[in-house]
Amino acid sequence: MKEITVDATLDNIETVTDFIDAELERVDCPPKAMMQINIAVDELFSNIARYAYEPEKGPATVRVEVDPDSPEVVITFLDHGKPYNPLENEDPDITLSAEERGIGGLGIFMVKKTMDEIEYEYRDGKNILRVKKKL
């Protein structure tokens, strides 16, 4: 397991993505899975950056676990911001046009559809969001 802790700001999305990509490249992650993981990381980290500590700033830790013997990656996002479970939100109605659909929720919906597992818990004053993707 490797982890990185950075300020939860939009400027650090690239730093977090590069960190995760380095681990994925180490285990020859297929390009499609890497692209899906990158989209999920962008969505999840940007949500932390925008909402967790608003209006202040705070740290976010991202952990990556890749077992070379198991074709699966586990990425965990931890922050000490406001408790928030994105999985409690109702999925958007994607049959509606963009104009008819309410704002928000599409990013988490995409994460749910592209990752194999996603789970959330609030423990010891921390938001802990974990995604798993089979490689």
User: How would residue 69 be classed by pLDDT, with cut points 50, 70 and 90?
Assistant: confident
Domains and CATH numbers, the chain: 2-134 (3.30.565.10)
- Range of weakest confidence among 18-22, 97-101, 111-115: 97-101
Q: How confident is the model at residue 95 (pLDDT cuts 50, 70, 90)?
A: low
CA distances from 30 to 20, 94, 117 (A): 14, 28, 18
Confidence check: pLDDT of 81 > 90 = yes
Sheet bearing 117-123, strands edge to edge: 2-7, 59-66, 72-79, 126-134, 117-123
Q: How many Cα atoms within 13 Å fall on the side-chain side of residue 87?
A: 13
SS3 per-residue string spanning 21-85: HHHHHHCCCCHHHHHHHHHHHHHHHHHHHHHHCCCCCCEEEEEEEECCCCCEEEEEEEECCCCCC
How far apart are the C-alpha atoms of 129 and 55, rounded to whole Å?
A: 21
Mean pLDDT of the region 14-33? 95
pTM, two decimal places: 0.88
Instruction: Please provide the average confidence, as pLDDT, over all residues in the chain.
Output: 88
pLDDT tens figures, 96-109? 555 555 555 556 87
Q: How large a percentage of the chain has pLDDT more than 90? A: 69
